[in-house]
Structure 1
């Protein structure tokens, strides 16, 4: 069994006439939380969307748990045990929280068939999901929608969670709740790949880090080492953490 659950090798992605990724090499160690950092426009979201098959890599390979998934369709990749939470969260606003969760629980036809122990675990991680169970999802606050988006992603067991900017626009108290939830997810054996702009979030949670610039990974290593090296931070990110 490889130490890396996910590996990108020389991945290029074109979107129309635009060449966005220029040979991305990225390793996501099994059972760890990997942070993907970089300035706006560096290619972070494109990398996540390419992993999920929403945009096809024009060159290079993507391997998940030893299998080449480069050419698989998005539903096939999800079927391998990968969940994706986009920056937009993808909430169905006109459906209730319960109905949003039920859509993600592919093995259940009604809410009563969702694994009870797993649902109780999710409610403990994100109490707002239980509190607003029968409310329209569109009426939730931004933080509550983010909790719902992550809850949908884990309503069934997953090997890998791929999440784009989970703390964006959230109040500090909700961010702390999210940090605690992700720490517990990692402790349960789930591997996580997060794009994040909140530096405190990255420092507290990250095991490993990859920094992107101009469609390439320009630095990879331990999050702790980057957090302690202000000169390296400025050279890679243009600021100190």
Structure 2
């Protein structure tokens, strides 16, 4: 097992009067792709937002590369080469695809300063980003917007990529393209944490898995083992993979 790049220890999160996370323990191995699964309302998105400092943990510890990041704000966390793609994707609809990408390229003040070799690699992962480079992002389809959201997150090298439900609402062909892209990202050395509801997506990509229920991690282990254990799937998720 690889060393853990990201760990959560006993993390509690309150949103107003609501106690959402109830002592989350989670380990994300370096260089692997970890799936975070669970029923709707289990606390998956809250876990991601807590990691990113968008919501502050009220108790417990979040560590990245051995550093305590629990009390850092979101810009400080992003500067550690952690990228986050929310379920909403966060696309700037009135800007072009190029302008969306440039906003995320912190080392470039204009498009010509972006890393050409990296852009070429991103275009190979997501051809629609190149095809619609000068088009308003708001005119893209849902699948194309999701590709842009992930492309924007990796426009500069990232050590950890966190993505919330990348396959939601996408056509099967787009999902297959997304699976191929994440597989290539993992092969390039990026550590990835995905929240996902598409079980086939999870089964094909995941190295490790954590399953949440009622604000806690109730199972953690190998994705392959979960995929092969129908009784465990039924117990944890109420379905069979």
Specify the TM-score bucket, using the shorter chain as the normaliser.
Answer: over 0.9
What is the CA-CA distance between 1:95 and the residue it aligns to? 0.2
Q: Distance in 2 between matches of 1:182 and 1:58?
A: 32
Matching of residues 143-222 of structure 1 within 5 Å: 143-222=143-222
Corresponding residue number in structure 2 for 1:71? 71
Name the CA distance, whole Å, in 2 between partners of 1:139 and 1:64: 37
Quote the Cα distance in structure 1 between the aligned partners of 2:63 and 2:182: 24
In structure 2, the residue corresponding to 1:61 is in which secondary structure?
A: strand
- In 1: Cα distance, 2:111 partner to 2:133 partner: 11
Aligned residue for 2:108, secondary structure, equals coil
Paired residue for 1:12?
Answer: 12
Aligned to 2:61: 61
Unaligned runs of 5+ in 2: none
Query: Partners of 1:91 and 1:173 in 2: how far apart?
Result: 22
Q: In 2, Cα distance between the equivalents of 1:238 and 1:202?
A: 16
Flag as ranges the 4+ runs of structure 1 deviating above 6 A. none
Secondary structure of residue in 2 paired with 1:184: helix
- Deviation, structure 1 residue 82: 0.2
Task: Trace 1:63-142 onto structure 2 (pairs within 5 A).
Answer: 63-142=63-142
Distance 1:127 1:212 in 2: 34
SS at match of 1:10: strand
CA distance in 2, matches of 1:113, 1:121: 16
Q: Distance in 1 between matches of 2:149 and 2:194?
A: 14
Q: What's the CA shift for 1:67?
A: 0.3
State the distance in 2 between where 1:33 and 1:23 align. Answer: 23
Residue aligned with 1:167, SS:
coil
Any idea what the Cα deviations from partners look like across 1:35-71, whole Å, max 9, x if unmatched? Answer: 0000000000000000000000000000000100000
- Aligned pairs, how many? 240
1:154 Cα shift?
A: 0.2
TM-score, structure 1 as length reference: 0.99
| Alignment partners' CA distance in 2, 1:113 and 1:171 | 34
